[in-house]
Amino acid sequence: MLILVYLLNLFEILACIAGMLHWEKIKNTYWKWFLVYLIVIAVVEVYGIYFGSLRNNTVLYNYFAIPLQFLFFFWLFSKGNSSKNRQLWLIIPFSIYLACWVIEYLFLRQRVTWFDSFSYTMGNVLLVILLINYLLRFINSDEILNYKSNMMFWVAVGIAIFYLGTLPFFALRNTLYYQFRDVFTVYNYVQLILGCLMYLVFALSFVWGKPK
C-alpha cells in the first residue's frame, strides 16, 4: 500500500514539474492556476502522509483538500465553456456542492474518522455532468481535430479516469471501511493506481497542450 501511495506522490510531483517546465506557455493564461492547484495538492498529499502517521488526517481532506478539488475543477470547466450561460455552469455546481457539504457537516457526520461520502458523491456527480457537457461540446466542434494540443481535453481525460473509476469507492467508503474491509483494501489499491494515471495525463497536458 505504501509503495502505491509514494508512487502517487511521485506522479503528483511529476505533473508539477511538467507544468513548471512549460511555465512560459501558461504563465499568461488561466492555466497557470492549474499548476498552482497541482502544487497545493501535492503539498497536501505529502503532508497528509506525515500527518496521517501521527494522527487521523481525515479532517485535512474533509475540510480542505476535497472541497478544493471539486471547486477548482468546477471553475476550470467554466473557463473552458464558451456558451452564453457559462456562469451558471459555475454558480449552480458551486452552490449545490457547498450546500451538501454544510448539510453533511451539520447532520450526517458521525465520527472524527468519518469520510464525507455524501458531499463527495454529489461533487463527483456534478463534476461528471460538467465533464459530459464539455465532451459533448468538444466532439461537436472543430477543436476535436486538434485534440492532442488541447489542454482541457487531456485534463478531462484525467478527470474521467479517476473520478468515474472511483465514484463507487468513495460513495460507499464508510460502509466498505467499517463492514467490508477486504473489499475496501482492494478498491483502495485501485483508486491509488487510477490517481497515478490521472496525474500522468495531467503531466501530458502540459507537454502536449497549447493553452488558449
Write out the H or E segment, with its range, that includes residue 33: helix 32-54
CA atoms within 13 A on the CB side of 107: 7
Give the residue from 152, 154, 153, 166 showing the smallest Cα distance to 195: 166
Quick one: angle between helices 32-54 and 181-208, nearest 10?
150
Cα of first residue to Cα of last residue in the chain, in angstroms, is 39
How far apart CA 190 and CA 17 sit, in angstroms, is: 25
Overall pTM > 0.85: yes
Amino acid identity, position 200:
L
Q: What is the pLDDT along the chain (212 residues), one digit of tens a residue?
A: 789 999 999 999 999 999 999 999 999 999 999 999 999 999 999 887 776 655 667 788 888 999 999 999 999 999 988 777 878 889 999 999 999 999 988 887 766 557 889 999 999 999 999 999 999 999 999 999 999 999 999 999 999 999 999 999 999 998 999 899 999 999 999 999 999 999 999 999 999 999 87
Which amino acid, residue 103? Answer: I
Cα–Cα distance, 39 to 35 (Å, whole number): 6
Looking at domain 2-208, its CATH architecture is Up-down Bundle (1.20)
In residues, how long is the chain? Answer: 212
Residue 140: strand, helix, or coil: coil
